Copies of this chain bind each other. A is one copy, B any other.
Amino acid sequence: MATEIERKFLVQGDGWRQGSLGVPYRQGYLLADGNRTIRVRVAGDRGYLTIKGPMLGISRSEYEYPIALADAEEMLASLCQGFLVEKQRYRVEHAGHLWEVDEFQGQNQGLIVAEIELSDPEEVFALPDWVGAEVSHDRRYGNAYLSFTPYCTWDSSPN
Contact = CB atoms under 8 A, between A and B. Distances in A.
Bin the interface of chain A by size. 10 to 19
A67 interface: yes
A135 interface: no
Given A30-B36, A30-B38, A70-B1, A79 B65 contact: no
Contacts of A38: 30-31, 38
A154 interface: no
A49 B31 contact: no
A30 B53 CA distance: 11
Given A31-B31, A38-B30, A38-B38, A63 B53 contact: no
Contacts of A79: 35-36, 51, 53, 61
Interface in A7-42: 30-31, 35-36, 38
Given A1-B70, A30-B36, A38-B30, A75 B63 contact: yes
A93 interface: no
Contact of A1 (B53, B61, B71): B71
A39 B87 CA distance: 29
7 contacts: A30-B36, A31-B38, A35-B79, A53-B79, A63-B67, A63-B71, A65-B65
Given A38-B38, A49-B51, A51-B79, 8 more contacts: A1-B70, A30-B36, A31-B31, A31-B36, A53-B78, A63-B71, A63-B74, A65-B67
